[in-house]
Amino acid sequence: MHADTGGLAMCSPQWVRQRQCSSNTICIFISYVNIFFVLFLCNIINITEAAAARITLPGNASVSAVIIFGDSIVDTGNNNNNFKTLARSNFPPYGKDLKGGMPTGRYSNGKVPSDLIVEALGIKELLPAYLDPTLQPKDLLTGVVIAAGGAGYDPLTAQVAVVASLSDQLKQFKEYIKKLKAIAGEERANFIISNSLIFVVAGTNDISNTYFLTGLRKLEYDVPSYTDLMLNYASVFVKDLYGLGVRRIGVLNTPPIGCVPSQRTVAGGVLRECDEKQNQASQLFNSKLSAEVDDLNKNLPNSRVVYIDIYNPLLDLINNPSKYGFEVVNKGCCGTGIIEVTKLCNQIQPAGTCSDDSKYVFWDSYHPTERAYKIIVQHILDKYINFFF
């Protein structure tokens, strides 16, 4: 069951009010009995859903830590002190639904996939950014986020955004390993690394920004050859991680980037429809990435490299919003919802934010809401977790 769909409609105040009556004393009494029963049932449903979000690992399997590389989909604050880049989100209204309503550098209204994964695995509630100045040594034992918003497989993508590229992130990972060994000792550190779940989330910015929006790669590459370039960098990165002792790697494919609000605005015409050129580029890259992951599994001994599809789950939210209780798919909750992202999504922009972000698939014009992320992450873990063991 998905939150806010089907039977959960009765959990809304509007549903309760519609079923109250005041024609006589008996009717009022019956109404309040019904209201009490509905509220009680809603509480039971909410508790059940929260429990269902936890993942049970197969057999005696365990996960020591979660470490995540890539871009803004999973970044939890690594760009906060990088004042050279516009790809930051450590200001309101970002993070308004996190505990305390404080912006942390997460590119959403609340938790992002990094947090939801470790929470579902029972490791910790939030996965901290590696560059967070308040990071404690003990935090390293259970994993961090090394991803940087604005990055991609193509080094030019990070260079244009002035953020840490995947090669920079790999250097940070090497630093992380050294710190881990100093804290836990070499033997335990090696065990933590080999027993961790590693996720790589990149490619969206390559397609949407470096290729289509700026056209920086169009003179040199067509879409097939550019996706080959992306694939080569992705493959090398996975091999580099393996060389550092990583054995469980989840590689997420690229989403239907042509359907995010900003790309509808830029390339979707007057009706702001999905840009099929970008979606087709994503699909082409994804098909190549899937085949490459199969090859990597065959050629990297004792490894579990898992291809993870997020293209279709997100597209299903967009194409069938009512199935999941969503109402708005072509605009974000922040501002007008058609262009605002990072610096443009701020407290002083006149449009403010929507009154109920749970009805929106997207928080800003580029990134989903926490509620959309929850549905996608639950799907990912349910479908793919056993492939890591």
**Can you read off the two tokens belonging to residue 11?**
């959990």
How many angstroms separate the CA atoms of 62 and 49, rounded?
A: 23
**Can you read off the two tokens belonging to residue 294?**
């199969």
The residue written with tokens 């694939």 in the block is: 231
**Cβ–Cβ < 8 Å for 292, 239:** no
Which are the contacts of 254, defined by CB distance < 8 A and separation ≥ 6? 203, 204, 207, 282, 285, 286, 310, 311
Quick one: 135 exposed, middle or buried, by C-beta within 10 A (0-12, 13-18, 19+)? middle
How many angstroms separate the CA atoms of 285 and 231, rounded?
A: 7
DSSP class of residue 352 equals -
Active-site position among 282, 364, 365, 379: 364
Sign of torsion over alpha carbons 209, 214, 216, 218: positive
How many angstroms separate the CA atoms of 204 and 282, rounded?
A: 8
Is residue 72 flagged as an active site residue?
Answer: yes
How many angstroms separate the CA atoms of 254 and 286, rounded?
A: 7
Active-site position among 154, 235, 275, 367: 367
Bridge-based pairing state of the strands 197-201 and 248-252? parallel
Active-site position among 72, 114, 196, 208: 72
Phi, psi for residue 94 in degrees, rounded to 5: -55, 140
How many angstroms separate the CA atoms of 93 and 108, rounded?
A: 9
Alpha helix (H) residue ranges in 244-310: 261-267, 276-299
Say how far residue 251 (Cα) sits from the centre of its chain. Answer: 13
Is residue 367 flagged as an active site residue?
Answer: yes
Active site residues per annotation: 72, 364, 367
